[in-house]
Amino acid sequence: MPHGSSPSLQQTVISCLGSATHGCSELGYASLCEISALRGRFGLLVERDHHFRADKPLSGYADAARIHGRIVA
């Protein structure tokens, strides 16, 4: 803990590993707080797809995203 910091003032950072496409596809970590603050078209929030079932490893989705220029599920 940094000098002078109070445990009650520290924020918990939750990181998620995933695939993102912002002009190029990449695997990496993102802050859940940052993801929840994103807005898409028409100001829509990012949502979790509760019905998604992976049929390949994460690297397989990243490879497909590199080929297609977008995330393909």
19 occurs within a structural domain: yes
The verdict on pTM exceeding 0.85 is no
2 occurs within a structural domain: no
Contact indicator for 63, 55 with CB cutoff of 8 Å: no
Residue 23: predicted pLDDT? 66
Comparison of pLDDT for 40 and 56, the residue scoring more: 56
Residue 43: predicted pLDDT? 92
* CA pair distance 58, 56, nearest whole angstrom: 7
4-43 tens-digit pLDDT: 555 555 667 788 888 776 666 777 888 888 888 888 889 9
The residue range of the domain holding 48 is: 13-68
55 occurs within a structural domain: yes
Number of structural domains the chain divides into: 1
